[in-house]
Each structure stands twice: as structure tokens, then as C-alpha cells.
């Protein structure tokens, strides 16, 4: 069974938000619900001023804080290592939203449950890639199997020493960032 992850090259992100809307359509989300965010970060003073767009989505942590706090056990990990929410078990208490250090979970007010990115696992199982990956104009994201050392993603992470966000938290995310 593959262990899926995404590598993100922020040096190529232009903040066009195509990933956000592609995802909303794929998942049937309303305009004000999203599984994707882009944070714009400015640093330095002119002439060494620089800006970075950092795409954010569920990190599919191996040691997921959301999973640990869920009182109903609604959060589970799929065989491919994707963190999922069981719709019938979720009671919408939002503990997981509080626990998530990346703040990437959102409430579905229609169903009264908490939802988030799930790597478009239905598309992936059918042989495709997540919607945010395929639509990106500059191909910021690389999707693939972290356990296969020959996969594009593994080679990318190794070459560029891509790191997850806040590795110090011990959440062991499956999204890796190349940031400079």
C-alpha cells in the first residue's frame, strides 16, 4: 500500500488560488468553504524585500493531533495514510479544529460536521491525482508515494531537503515544503 504525500515548492507559487476553486468543485463545496488556503508572507526591506505564497491544506499527519482529541473516534487513517473523518460518527464538537496546529479544518454547516482535505482519495484510487495538483499552472505540488524512494516526490524531497511545517510539533505531516 502506498503512503501518499504532497511536496510543495513555494518558490513557484503565484497565489492564483486555482487549487482552492478546483478543490471546491471537486468536493462540491460552497463558495465560503474551502480545504485550501494560500498565506502570503512578506519579509525583508527593499532592496532585499521578498514575498512568498504558502499553500496550506490538511497535512495528513501520521501523528495527528485531531485524531487524538476526537471524542467519538470519528477521525481515522486510511490504508494509504490519509486522515479521514467518518461522517456518521462526527458530532461536530470542533475539538479537532482547536487541536489542529495548521488550522486547516472547516465546518460543514449543512451536515454539522467537520471536514477537510482528504487528498481526493476517490480520484487517487481511480488512478488520478488530487484536483489541486492537476490544476496548478506552475505545478507547485508533486503528489506521490513517500515510501517509494524512486518516486518523483521522494526524489524532490531528498534533493531539495523539503521539510514539513513545524516539524518540532512531532505531528509528522505528509506535506513537505521547499521554501527557498
Closer to another protein by CB, 80 or 169: give it.
80
Per CB under 8 A, the list member of 6, 7, 8, 13 interacting with another protein is: 13
Closest CA to 108 of 38, 24, 21, 19: 24
Q: What is the helix (H) or strand (E) element at residue 26, kind and residue range?
A: helix 18-27
| DSSP tag of 52 | E
Q: Which one of 110, 159, 161, 168 is in contact with another protein (CB under 8 A)?
A: 110
CA atoms within 13 A of residue 180's CA, in its CB half-sphere: 3
Q: Please choose, out of 60-68, 77-85, 91-99, 165-173, the segment that lies near another protein by the rule CB under 8 A.
A: 77-85
Q: Quote the strand ranges of the chain, DSSP E.
A: 4-9, 37-43, 50-56, 75-77, 83-85, 106-108, 113-115, 141-145, 175-178
Work out which of 134, 155, 160, 169 binds another protein, going by CB under 8 A: 134
Kindly list the residues in this chain that would bind another protein in the complex (CB under 8 A).
1, 11-18, 20-22, 24-32, 34, 37-38, 40, 42, 44-47, 49-53, 79, 84-87, 108, 110-111, 115, 118, 121-123, 125-128, 131, 134-139
Amino acid at each position: 500500500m502506498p503512503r501518499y504525500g504532497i511536496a510543495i515548492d513555494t518558490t513557484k507559487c503565484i497565489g492564483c488560488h486555482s487549487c482552492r476553486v478546483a478543490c471546491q468543485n471537486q468536493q462540491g463545496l460552497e463558495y465560503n468553504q474551502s480545504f485550501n488556503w494560500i498565506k502570503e508572507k512578506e519579509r525583508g526591506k527593499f532592496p532585499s524585500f521578498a514575498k512568498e505564497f504558502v499553500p496550506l491544506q490538511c497535512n495528513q499527519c501520521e501523528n495527528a493531533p485531531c485524531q487524538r482529541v476526537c471524542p467519538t473516534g470519528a477521525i481515522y487513517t486510511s490504508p494509504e495514510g490519509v486522515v479521514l473523518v467518518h461522517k456518521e460518527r462526527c458530532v461536530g464538537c470542533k475539538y479537532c479544529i482547536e487541536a489542529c496546529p495548521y488550522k486547516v479544518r472547516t465546518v460543514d454547516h449543512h451536515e454539522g460536521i467537520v471536514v477537510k482535505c482528504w487528498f481526493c482519495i476517490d480520484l487517487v484510487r481511480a488512478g488520478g491525482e488530487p484536483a489541486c495538483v492537476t490544476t496548478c499552472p506552475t505545478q507547485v505540488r508533486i503528489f506521490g508515494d513517500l515510501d517509494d524512494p524512486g518516486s518523483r516526490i521522494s526524489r524532490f524531497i531528498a534533493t531539495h531537503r523539503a521539510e514539513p511545517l513545524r516539524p518540532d510539533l512531532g505531528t509528522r505531516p505528509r506535506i513537505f515544503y521547499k521554501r527557498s
